[in-house]
Chain A
């Protein structure tokens, strides 16, 4: 594959991107199309806990939620994956055995990535050896902003190699990249270096995922697909809390990349509280009434 010159910047017009998003947000999603979207969104969640205080107990409870989001509606789809720190991968893997739910692990000195490459690769290998199906790595934002694109590229390629068969999601931490043009460039870089997914944020800083940033990344994925026939997945993460937001994201995906990306194989939400809002809305569509949050499990 021919690599683009990453010193060349692809121009992005901020106003145009934001206008496009606001127009897409005007799509009115009602009735059966809403129910369908809510269930689709539920199936795309990477149910996440990434805290210093995470314990096996907490992770086991989260896995149970992943398997059975709402016991009174047993036929709902399960979430796509459970996302944890490497030290919790073994626990999650055991708990999710026999299900289709993947275990995703953040790695590479998440969230800052400020550790020597050798340690970041060890981190990755450890997570994979514990059974992680997916690795969420962070890029070296400092090196990227400094213009050291080759280094960032090589690091991603090295992590990809360390992943073996595990899928690689590359977190750009777009909140630290500041411009849409940087987001575009980092997306191109990650895809060419071997990312299976590109992901907006760690969720550890604000702003996390935004819809305009997601659109820019989806357009990068589209251009990459035009050029290489290879489908790359997308994962906005952080700050997506409501069913309404989730549906807006799905509209953006549908009208930018089409039907093929509307599956959890190619689109994920990195979120935790989103699950219960989706469940609440699904129950509302089913019964016509909102139930209090007390009726939904807190894990």
Chain B
């Protein structure tokens, strides 16, 4: 079945560009596929509990597919209550046993070892990440995996220096941490969760997302190879129900969740009245505020990075462009031209800019929003690029002629869809930027330093990038205001979330 028919039947037609520039070149790039024959994928993956790969107690498995080809890659075990209980017990045993007896310096050594092993096998992990999740190999190779190693290196350094991180305190670990991660940056989110938890002396039970569990289980193999004591890291696969078992398990001391705001609210409710600590990193609807005095060509590039990075599957994606009226036409025209040079297609091709939408479910969600935008009266613009016949692909999209009251402006789409609004004064820009239940990230483009600081202090977002977007660094805390989350990950703040001080 071709999914493209669904797009073709949609109530809108892909618009063709009105640019004077012609990007349909006589000189086209030949396919440059990343080889994947050196990567081994088993037919079936089991749960990783207590240092061993064990079959799920109910014997159920679910399939994992490559979203770019819709081919089955492998199958994962479905962890049920008993399995989660076993995992928590293994984590508890390790926490009270060997892991608490080794010195902080030794803990750090294990993390350094994991980081180095990840670097050695970086290309393998990059290939798996793209195969399983649909993200372009350029991103998994140049962004995801290098950052994964960087987070492990960073928190490895803190392991034996916690008393310097929190002067005058005696930081203690929390215990067993239940961690649930999303499908947009599978291995990177694993690193954000596991690295600080282990650095502080905790043990973990981690559940990867059901559509992207492959790298987590490859990581489990790496953990086994590196000789980490059994039970310090446990990985259980499954869908929402498995996650709920972790959250509600009575012997979990802390819950760390990254995912949708809806699920985050459910988790928060179920944790009410318990003494479990929690951090939640949820949705977003980031605003990109572009002033008249901005470096326009670089702002356009920043906007492209903000919304089309990882198919727009980024919680901090800048999905609302707010552009000052004086330069709006210029910015929109340039954006449209730039869309024409984005290459959409095979995630394993080194030249691909936008890969496959992560799953059928998400593909349908994004398409629903495209239809909704048109129904709401917005003007839709898509690049005329070719997209593959199979797999879940969506052309990079702009919605113009929208306002704050449109649902495509208010709701997180989590796809390659940007809405464009205009503003006249800085105050209006701030008001519109903040007029959302979310508050994860924002961007400002201006040549004027003082304006950056003014905007930065008034915009209610956990991260504000100036003249750039989607820059990540292990030393920098990340997290949201309002419905975008509770607590911070990364940096010292991220360390504090895994200690009793």
Contact = CB atoms under 8 A, between A and B. Distances in A.
Interface residues of A, number: 34
Nearest to B25: A259
A17 B298 contact: yes
Contact of A26 (B24, B142, B468): B142
Interface string A1-38: 00000000011110111011000001111111110110
A258 B301 contact: no
| Most chain B beta-carbon contacts within 10 A, residue among A11, A33, A40 | A11
Contacts of A250: 27
A28 B21 contact: no
Given A257-B21, A259-B24, A260-B22, A15 B468 contact: yes
A226 B26 contact: no
A62 B241 CA distance: 75
A27 B31 CA distance: 11
Contacts of A17: 297-298
B295 interface: yes
A128 B492 CA distance: 68
Nearest to A257: B21
Contact of A226 (B20, B24, B294): B20
A25 B27 CA distance: 16
A219 interface: yes
B225 interface: no
B319 interface: no
B351 A28 contact: yes
B138 interface: yes
A222 interface: yes
Interface in A205-257: 219, 222, 225-226, 229, 250, 254-255, 257
B293 A11 contact: yes
B104 to A, nearest CB: 38
A22 to B, nearest CB: 10
B30 interface: yes
B179 interface: no
Nearest to B467: A13
A262 interface: yes
B29 interface: yes
Most buried by A among B22, B294, B295: B295
Given A16-B302, A225-B20, A219 B27 contact: no
A13 B25 contact: no
B350 interface: yes
Which secondary structure dominates where chain B touches chain A? Answer: loop
Contact of B23 (A13, A19, A258): A258
B297 A219 contact: yes
Given A28-B351, A255-B341, A259-B23, A16 B29 contact: no
Contacts of B26: 259, 262
A44 to B, nearest CB: 12
A262 B27 contact: yes
B467 A15 contact: yes
B447 interface: yes
Contacts of B54: none
Select the residue from B20, B22, B25, B302 with max chain A CB neighbours within 10 A.
B25
Contacts of A255: 23, 341
A250 B164 CA distance: 52
Interface in B62-102: none
Contacts of B29: 27-30, 33
Nearest to A225: B20
Contacts of B22: 258-260
Contact of A33 (B27, B299, B302, B341): B27
A40 B23 CA distance: 17
Interface string B328-345: 000001000000010000
A16 B295 contact: yes
Contacts of A37: 27
Interface string B464-488: 0001100000000000000000000
B43 interface: no
Interface in A19-75: 19-20, 26-34, 36-37, 40
Contacts of B294: 11
A12 B295 contact: yes
Interface in A261-281: 262
B298 A33 contact: no
B470 to A, nearest CB: 11
A254 B343 CA distance: 13
A254 B295 contact: no
A36 B24 CA distance: 15
B9 interface: no
Q: Which of B20, B26, B27 is the most central at the interface, judged by chain A CB atoms within 10 Å of its CB? A: B27
Contacts of A19: 301, 468
Contacts of A36: 27
B350 A20 contact: no
A262 B28 CA distance: 12
Contacts of A13: 295, 298, 447, 467
5 contacts: A11-B447, A16-B299, A28-B350, A259-B22, A262-B25
Task: Give 6 nearest A-B pairs by CB, closest first.
Answer: A16-B298, A28-B32, A11-B447, A13-B298, A28-B350, A33-B30
Given A26-B350, A33-B30, A260-B21, 14 more contacts: A10-B295, A12-B295, A13-B447, A16-B299, A20-B298, A28-B32, A29-B29, A29-B32, A30-B30, A219-B297, A254-B25, A255-B23, A258-B25, A259-B22
Interface of B: 20-32, 138, 142, 293-295, 297-299, 301-302, 333, 341, 350-351, 447, 467-468
Interface of A: 10-13, 15-17, 19-20, 26-34, 36-37, 40, 219, 222, 225-226, 229, 250, 254-255, 257-260, 262
